Amino acid sequence: MRRRFVATLLALAAAGAVTGRAAAQGAAEVVVDAAGPVRTLAAGVAAVRPGGRVVVRPGVYREPTVVVRKPVTIEGVAWPVVDGERAREILRIEADDVTVRGLVLRDVGTSYVEDRAAVKVDGARRCVIEGNRIERAFFGIYLAKAADCRIVGNEVVGADTTETSAGNGIHLWYSRGVEIRGNRVTGHRDGIYLEFVKKSRITGNVSERNLRYGLHFMFSDSCVYRENTFRDNDAGVAVMYTKNVEMRRNRFEHNWGGSSYGLLLKDITDSTVEDNLFARNSVGVLAEGSNRVRVEGNEFVENGWAVRIMANAVDNLFTRNNFVGNSFDVATNSRQSFSEFRGNYWDRYRGYDLDGDGAGDVPYRPVRLFSLVAERYPPSLILLRSLFVELLNTAERMLPALTPGTLVDAAPALEAYR
C-alpha cells in the first residue's frame, strides 16, 4: 500500500514537471490586444514560444523598449501603432530569425548620446523587417553587426528639419549580406547609410527629400545598387572609400545646390556605373580620386555639369553615354586628363562620318573653355548665356589652346544610344 502511494506521488510530480515545462515553452501564437488578456507587445513576446508568432491587433501601444531575445514573428493586423512617445527606442532585436511586419512605429525622440531607432537589430542574423510604416523616428531601421537580413517594403518618413537633429532612415554598420529592397525613405539626414558593409544589395528603393544624402556609403566593398531612385536630396548620393561597387539602372534626379551632385565617386576603385539616368542635377557625376571605374550607357540630361572629373581620377573609362542638354558636358581642374572618353554621344558635336561607321571622323573636345574659367572663378557663371561666352567657346573650338588636349572623344557617336 505504501509503495503504491509513493508511486502515485512520483507520477503526479512527473506530470506536473512536464506541464511546467510546456508552460515555460509558451504558446505557438499569442494575440496582443489592448482590450484582451495580453495587452502589451512585451508581454506577447514573453509569452510566445521560440519560433512562434505574435499577432498585434489594432490599437496604440505605449510601453518601454521591447527587447526580443528569441526567434519569433511579430505581425500587425490593420496597422497597430507602437509609440515611442519621443522618449525611447521602440524595438530591439538581439536574436536570430526574427521577423517584424505590418506595424506602425512612430515617435522615437532625438538623442545626442545614443542612436535610438524604431527598430534596431544588434548582432543578429536572418532578420526580416518587412512592410512596416515608420514615422517621426530619429533613426528608422538600424542594423549593427548583422548578417543575411532583409529590409523590404517599408515606408520610413522623418520629420526633422536640421541634420543635427535627424538620424538616418535605414542605417547599416559592420553588416554583411543584407538586402534592402522596395523601401521608400524621406525626411531623414541620409536616406540609406552604409558603413563597413560587405556583399549587400540595394534595389528598387526610393530615397527622396532627405536633408543630406539619398544614399551615403563608405568602406563598403562588393555591394550592388540597382533600380533605385534618388530624388530631390540636398547633396545627392555619395560613394566613398570603396571598391568593387556595381551601380546599374538607378535614377539620380533633381539634386540641386551649391554642393550637390547626382553621384559623388570619391576614392572608388574597380567599379561600374552603368545604364543610369542623371537628370537635372547640379553635377551629374563628380569623380575625385577614383580609379578604374567604367561609366557606360548612362543618360546625362539637363544637368549643370554632366561630369566633373578631377585630375586625381585615373584610368576611368566613359563610353557609350548620351550627353544631352547639359550646361557643361565635362569639366576638370587640370589641363591634363588621365581618364578616357570614347564613343559617347554629344548633342553639341557638329562633326561628320564619311566612312559610315557610325563614329565621327573629327574628335570632339567636351571641355568648353568657359568651364575652365568658371572652375577657377565661380562668379563668372553669371555670363553663361552671354554672347561673349559663345564667342569664347567658338574661338577655342577653332584653335584649341587652353582646354585639355588629352581629354577628347576620338570617336564620338553620331546618334544617341537607345
Residues 333, 375 share a domain = no
Structural domain contains residue 307: yes
What burial class does residue 172 get, using C-beta atoms within 10 Å of its C-beta: 0-12 exposed, 13-18 middle, 19+ buried?
buried
Q: pLDDT value at position 1? A: 43
Q: What is the C-alpha end-to-end distance of the chain, expressed in Å?
A: 96
Structural domain contains residue 10: no
The parts of the chain modelled with pLDDT lower than 50 are 1-24
Distance, in Å, from the CA atom of 404 to the CA atom of 191, rounded to the nearest integer, reads 37
Contact 267, 246 (CB under 8 A): no
Structural domain contains residue 319: yes
Distance, in Å, from the CA atom of 159 to the CA atom of 215, rounded to the nearest integer, reads 18
Final residue before a domain boundary, out of 202, 231, 260: 231
Q: pLDDT value at position 385? A: 60
Structural domain contains residue 265: yes
Distance, in Å, from the CA atom of 212 to the CA atom of 164, rounded to the nearest integer, reads 11
- Nearest alpha carbon to residue 144 among 86, 89, 189: 89
What one-character DSSP code corresponds to residue 381? G
Residues 83, 220 share a domain = yes
Residues 284, 220 share a domain = no
Residues 383, 358 share a domain = no
Instruction: Kindly report the pTM of this predicted structure.
Output: 0.86
Residues 84, 59 share a domain = yes
Distance, in Å, from the CA atom of 188 to the CA atom of 115, rounded to the nearest integer, reads 14
Residues 6+ apart with CB under 8 A from 52: 26, 27, 28, 29, 30, 72, 73
Residues 396, 295 share a domain = no
Q: pLDDT value at position 252? A: 97
Q: Look at strands 305-309 and 66-68 and give their pairing.
A: unpaired
Q: pLDDT value at position 353? A: 82
Q: pLDDT value at position 228? A: 98
Structural domain contains residue 4: no
Final residue before a domain boundary, out of 215, 231, 247: 231
Residues 183, 150 share a domain = yes
Q: List C-alpha distances in Å: 184 to 103, 132, 143, 155, 293.
A: 15, 11, 17, 5, 29
Q: pLDDT value at position 165? A: 80
What burial class does residue 354 get, using C-beta atoms within 10 Å of its C-beta: 0-12 exposed, 13-18 middle, 19+ buried?
exposed
Structural domain contains residue 148: yes
Contact 57, 77 (CB under 8 A): yes
Residues 248, 216 share a domain = no
Residues 196, 215 share a domain = yes
**pLDDT of 134-167, one tens digit each?**
999 999 999 999 999 999 999 999 987 788 788 9
Distance, in Å, from the CA atom of 257 to the CA atom of 235, rounded to the nearest integer, reads 7
Q: pLDDT value at position 306? A: 96
**pLDDT of 219-237, one tens digit each?**
999 999 999 999 999 999 9
The whole domain housing 334 covers 235-367+406-418
Structural domain contains residue 13: no
Structural domain contains residue 3: no
Residues 259, 382 share a domain = no
Residues 58, 175 share a domain = yes
Q: pLDDT value at position 132? A: 98
CATH number of the domain where residue 68 is located: 2.160.20.10
Write the single-letter amino acid at 88: R
Final residue before a domain boundary, out of 231, 250, 272: 231
Residues 297, 392 share a domain = no
Task: Provide the domain count of the chain.
Answer: 3
